[in-house]
Amino acid sequence: MPAGACRCAPSAFPAQRRAFRRKTAPSAVKTRLAKSLHLRHNTGMNRTTYKIIAFDLDGTLLRDDKSIPPENLLALREAAARGIEPVVATGRIFRGIPEQLKELPFLHYYILSNGAAVYDSRADRTLFRADIPLALALSCYEYLDTLPVIYDCYQNEQGWMSRAMLERAAPYFEREPEVLKLLYGLRKPVDDLKQTLRERGEGLQKLQMFFKPEDEALRQATIRELPRRFPALVATTSVKNNIEVNSVDAGKGKALLALCRTLGVEASASVAFGDGSNDIEMLRAAGLGVAMANADEAVKAAADCVTAGNEDCGVARKIGELLEKGRDSVWKN
């Protein structure tokens, strides 16, 4: 297989996901990618045909309380009706995606765990995968044991965490209570995380660590130190108290390009929305990279343009602008 080629494999996702299969009308399936929509690119090009809109969840599509603004859902529905393929691009595993999104009949593709996997829910297939080798992950955990952090991992669509760390997690999330709820809901506690992973003998989609609010300087130093110590890993962040670690072969940008190849779509025909450093690669890879107003300056610098913040329905506003019908067409749908 050529380097960088998209790999198709049987899905590693739990069986219960099949309950979320979309019931899309055959005619819609046949015509979705055959359609095209001319959208105005506001960075100098006259007209561009966009066929994919990829969007991050936390800090982008979702409000801070993790709810989805109705305006954003309406905007995605309107884009899908015009032949555009909406794509979730998140650091979460599939089990962590809101049911409200999974139930959308036009949403089929998911970039998961910061691009460690691309999942087609309609076919129940993993289209791309890039795990952290187990030995490398265990070496990273040995380093993290020297720091005042708690850590976990995603492996084959399951979150794992040492029971002792999960039980003392609350002080690490004083400023991120909604993230703490997700942590409790998506991590399976085990007596010894490293030993459990050794016994399972498989690589990881992602590992992540969490810092207390007073350790922000340490978090910034660690995100620089990790790739120096472990060149085969990349470190990013998506919320204010974490660092997320993936294989250098993963990344939302690489995953988006892999999906474009699978669908026969040029990367220039994609739009991407994001707010965190784990979105920078994707914003650069897309034909049009859109940063949220609430994004860090480095994210904004990587983007082609900036839309309103996640609390102000920035995704819907930009899609409405791109649809050339104005914001009100999305609100009034």
Residue by residue, DSSP assigns 23-35 as ---HHHHHHHTT-
327/316 Cα distance (integer angstroms): 8
Percent of the chain with pLDDT over 70: 83
pLDDT higher at 185 or 4: 185
pLDDT category, 71, cuts 50, 70, 90?
A: very high
Mean pLDDT lowest among 26-30, 114-118, 196-200, 225-229: 26-30
Compute the average pLDDT of residues 148-159: 97
CATH 3.40.50.1000 location in the chain:
9-130+251-331
Q: Is the pLDDT of residue 51 over 90?
A: yes
Q: pLDDT value at position 172?
A: 96
Q: What is the mean pLDDT of residues 247-265?
A: 98
CATH of domain 134-247: 3.30.1240.10
Edge to edge, the sheet with strand 150-155 lists 187-190, 158-162, 150-155, 206-210, 242-247, 233-236
Note the pLDDT of residue 317: 96
- 10-19, 49-58, 275-284: range with lowest mean pLDDT: 10-19
How confident is the model at residue 79, as a pLDDT? 96
Per-residue confidence band for 323, with pLDDT thresholds at 50, 70 and 90: confident
The mean per-residue pLDDT over the stretch 2-12 comes to 38
Burial 180-204 (b: 16+ CB within 10 A, else e): bebbeebbebbeebeebbeeeeebb
Q: Where in the chain is the domain with CATH 3.30.1240.10?
A: 134-247
- Average pLDDT rounded to a whole number, residues 164-189: 94
pLDDT at 48: 60
Return the pLDDT at 202. Answer: 97
pLDDT of residue 330: 41
pLDDT of 1 over the 80 cut: no
pLDDT at 248 exceeding the cut of 50: yes
User: Which H/E stretch holds residue 190?
Assistant: strand 187-190
Kindly report the average pLDDT of the chain as a whole number: 87
Share of the chain above pLDDT 90, in %: 80
311, pLDDT greater than 90: yes
Query: What confidence tens digit (pLDDT) does each residue in 270-296 have?
Result: 999 999 999 999 999 999 999 999 999
- CATH architecture assigned to 9-130+251-331: 3-Layer(aba) Sandwich (3.40)
* pLDDT at position 38: 42
pLDDT surpasses 90 at 65: yes
Position 184 scores a pLDDT of: 95
- What average pLDDT does this structure show over 162-171? 97
How confident is residue 47, by pLDDT bands cut at 50, 70 and 90? low
Whether 80 shows a pLDDT value over 70: the answer reads: yes
Contact 236, 244 (CB under 8 A): yes
**The pLDDT of residue 165:** 98
What are the residue ranges of helices labelled H in the chain? 26-32, 70-81, 99-102, 134-144, 163-167, 177-186, 193-200, 216-229, 252-263, 280-285, 297-302, 314-322, 327-331
CA pair distance 192, 165, nearest whole angstrom: 10
Amino acid at 239: V
pLDDT band for 324, please (50, 70, 90 cuts).
confident
